Structure 1
Amino acid sequence: MTTPQTGRRPSGLLVGSLVAISFGTVFVLVNSGGLAAPWPWVIRVVGLLVAAFLVVALLRVARREPAATGGPATGFMDRRYWIVVAVEAVALFGGLNVINRVLHRPEISVAWVALVVGVHFFGLGWVWRMPRYHWLGAVMTALGLAGFVIHALGGGAATVALVAGVGSGLALYLTVALALRDVSRDRTPVAG
């Protein structure tokens, strides 16, 4: 996904991808622990390998494709971004407080996190005009809702964490992989 005006990689690709890889890794590592052995270690090792592969691929793209410049200051400097993040933080921590301290249901905390983070991607997709974030938001929101449904149907905390947590980590990894694929696909060879 290069910018149409310049054929360069989007200016936020590096930072956004590093954030997605980091949070994806946290989702995978934290939420795979409740499974029967050897699955926590298998999932964690695979998650770390995928994260490492994505970081290497991202650094290669960053080195090969210069970032687009010259546009208005956006991204993390945009006031709308901070509004989305503020609403996300209030919903996230307010909801977790209710889930853990009022309802005493910590086993669904990860489902709430996936749901709120998923919804926040709809806002970011709108702010940054990135349709892929709408898809990521839809997937993570669905995974969060699936976690609630699994719990309501009697599923255990490990299953909720696997679906809502590990699933969200995989969705973040896949989003980065698709963005990197798009940049590589849109690359036009330089005549030499």
Structure 2
Amino acid sequence: MEKTAVRPVLRTRREQFRGGGRASLIGTGFGVMWFALGQAVVHGAARPYVLAAGALLFAASAATVVRLFLLARATPADEPGVPPPPGGGGPKFLTVLLVEVAVLGAGNNVLRTTLDRPEMMLSWSALVVGAHFFPLARTLRAPVLRLVGAAMLATVGLAAVAVLGLGADGQAWSYVPGLGCAAVLWGGTALSGLRAGRTTRD
């Protein structure tokens, strides 16, 4: 049986905003990585539009990071917040990350060497990273991470439809999950900023 804390630890509203700011910063940073990898194989007339859309989403995500840290600074230090879910984190969190890294490395090595399909490495990465959000959601008691994971898995499905169903070139295995995962992370971060704004008005 899984143990949970009997009494949740109190945390202030300022701590909530800081925690949200740190999570948003991580999401924004990983979004930059996914976008950089995806846009590198986009050429032709679509490239300016892809870069413009990426810049807008990044700006919204980065603005959320700044907003959350500013809200934390402006919030009284003793204002009570919502208690965190009990039992989150710990060794299980590290186990999920270690398994993710091992599976990512092994799969991408096979694609790059044995199968000679390096263009599929971003799809494999999106598959593994998306899947890791499901145990992570349970470990951190954060159900919203399941939505992030499902959205990342959907980008791989879109890449498969583009290549296998619509006849797109093999680079779609790279740019669809690359740009798609960036949009998921940046869009999710921007939405969290909107929710934080509604919370402050309530």
- TM-score > 0.5 by shorter chain: yes
Match of 1:51 among 58, 68, 78: 58
Equivalent residue number for residue 179 of structure 1: 192
Mapped contact 2:130–2:151 kept (Cα < 8 A): yes
C-alpha distance in 1 between matches for 2:125 and 2:22 = 22
- Change in Cα spacing, 1:38 to 1:157, as seen in structure 2 (3 Å) is same
Aligned length: 185
Mapped contact 1:111–1:161 kept (Cα < 8 A): yes
Give the share of equivalent positions with the same residue, in percent: 27
Q: How does 1:15-94 map to 2 (within 5 A)?
A: 15-65=22-72, 66=75, 78-94=90-106
Mapped contact 1:14–1:62 kept (Cα < 8 A): yes
**SS in structure 1 at match of 2:168:** coil
Mapped contact 2:148–2:184 kept (Cα < 8 A): yes
**SS in structure 2 at match of 1:103:** coil
C-alpha distance in 1 between matches for 2:84 and 2:185 = 27
Query: What are the superposed Cα offsets for residues 88-125 of structure 1, whole Å, 9 maximum, x if unpaired?
Result: 00110010011111111111111001111101111221
2:141 matches 1:129? yes
C-alpha distance in 1 between matches for 2:139 and 2:31 = 22
2:180 matches 1:167? yes
Q: What amino acid sits opposite 1:40 in the alignment?
A: R
Match of 1:103 among 83, 104, 115: 115
C-alpha distance in 2 between matches for 1:165 and 1:156 = 15
- Change in Cα spacing, 1:30 to 1:40, as seen in structure 2 (3 Å) is farther
Equivalent residue number for residue 155 of structure 1: 168
C-alpha distance in 1 between matches for 2:34 and 2:150 = 17
- Change in Cα spacing, 1:109 to 1:149, as seen in structure 2 (3 Å) is farther
| CA positional deviation for 1:126 | 1.0
**Which has more radius of gyration?**
2
- Change in Cα spacing, 1:106 to 1:151, as seen in structure 2 (3 Å) is farther
* TM-score, normalised via structure 1 length: 0.81
User: Aligned Cα RMSD in Å?
Assistant: 2.9
| CA positional deviation for 1:7 | 5.0
Q: What amino acid sits opposite 2:27 in the alignment?
A: A
User: Please, which runs of 5 or more residues in structure 2 have no aligned partner?
Assistant: 1-9
Task: Tell which deviates more after alignment, 64-73 or 160-169.
Answer: 64-73
Query: What are the superposed Cα offsets for residues 122-150 of structure 1, whole Å, 9 maximum, x if unpaired?
Result: 12211111111101101101212433454
Mapped contact 2:28–2:186 kept (Cα < 8 A): yes
User: Please, which runs of 5 or more residues in structure 1 have no aligned partner?
Assistant: none
C-alpha distance in 2 between matches for 1:42 and 1:72 = 41
Mapped contact 1:114–1:141 kept (Cα < 8 A): yes
Mapped contact 1:21–1:172 kept (Cα < 8 A): yes
Q: What amino acid sits opposite 2:168 in the alignment?
A: G
Mapped contact 1:27–1:169 kept (Cα < 8 A): yes
- Change in Cα spacing, 1:131 to 1:70, as seen in structure 2 (3 Å) is closer
- Change in Cα spacing, 1:7 to 1:16, as seen in structure 2 (3 Å) is closer
